[in-house]
Structure 1
Amino acid sequence: MNRIVLIGRAAKDWELRYTGTGTGIANGVIAVDRQVSQGKEKEADFINLVAFKQTAETCANYIKKGHRFAVEGRLQVRSYDNNEGRKVWVSEVLVDRIEFLEPKQQGSQNQTEGRHSTPPPIDDDDLPF
């Protein structure tokens, strides 16, 4: 069984593109808190996400940097050869389902549920890219 569920905040706005056949593909990054040890400050893991079709468009249109959301999907590990001829391995979650955990922003068409909270700022120095 290959299932993963994550709750966190968007580390950046989602990027949406389309294939030659018109299929939407969106890439995002979720920052998930990890407790290091008792009494120490939490650290964040940054996990790559990929969504397709209508889910891709929804993610790109409504999830902005700092928004809290939950994602369910499956882990994929793939590789490719970079410009230097070296094999690069990439781990990412292929999104099956997304759930918004904050109320919609005023003036937004986003339909979400949950409590309103101000997202903590994400320092760009913490991003792995």
Structure 2
Amino acid sequence: MNKVMLMGRLTRDPDVRWTQGPEQSAVARYTLAVDRRFQKEGGVTADFIGCVAFGRQAEFAEKYLQKGIKIAITGRIQTGSYTNREGQKVYATDVVVEEQEFVESKGASAARPPKRKTEPETDDDGFMNIPEGVEDEIPFR
């Protein structure tokens, strides 16, 4: 039996790509930082495990997962090898995701910084500043 269960945080946003051909399918890759249960003093505190999701699971990852979010996954270990550009054989081990789910509530994840890089400027009363000359672009008046 080949079954893996992991719980950890994404180290970065998932990298999602689409296959070519008449029936395109999504492939998402991400890394989970999984805390070690026991640690040696001054030693490593987490393992970084590569995960790959296909199809609907990959689409879910693209839509809902982002860096820092805590998830639990189940899947299977898959090993493989390839030859890199230098002619060296490289061995790879990934977890193929079969199920993934959120572990934290929205309230707990709200403490994380937002996904966008910059916050809009606000007045003292908390309303967003609207730049000059955009009145024509506003859908209401």
TM range (shorter): 0.7 to 0.9
Structure 2 CA distance, aligned partners of 1:32 and 1:60?
20
Offset, 1:60: 1.6
Establish whether residue 16 from structure 1 lines up as the match of residue 8 from structure 2: no
- Bigger Rg, structure 1 or 2: 2
Aligned to 1:7: 7
Gaps of 5+ in 1: 105-114, 120-129
User: What does the per-residue CA deviation read over 1:11-33, in whole Å, with 9 as the maximum and x for residues that have no partner?
Assistant: 11001111013011000000000
Question: How far apart are residue 63 of structure 1 and its match?
Answer: 1.0
Quote the RMSD (CA, aligned, Å): 1.8
My pick for the range that moved more, 40-49 or 19-28, is 40-49
Q: For 2:13, give the aligned amino acid.
A: D
Instruction: Indicate if the aligned counterparts of 1:79 and 1:88 stay in contact, CA closer than 8 A.
Output: yes
Q: Find the residue that maps to 1:17 and give its secondary structure.
A: strand
Q: Which runs of 5+ in 2 are unaligned?
A: 113-141
Structure 1 residue 36: deviation in Å? 1.3
User: Residue 33 of structure 1 contacts residue 42 of structure 1 at CA under 8 Å; is this kept in 2?
Assistant: no
Please name the residue that 2:61 is paired with.
Answer: 59
The amino acid across from 1:116 in the alignment is A
Residue type matched to 1:88 in 2?
V
Counting only pairs closer than 5 Å after superposition, residues 1-129 of structure 1 correspond to structure 2 as 1-21=1-21, 22-34=24-36, 35-37=38-40, 43-104=45-106, 116=108, 118=111
TM-score, scaled to structure 1 = 0.77
Q: Higher strand fraction: Structure 1 or Structure 2?
A: 1
Q: TM-score, normalised by structure 2?
A: 0.71
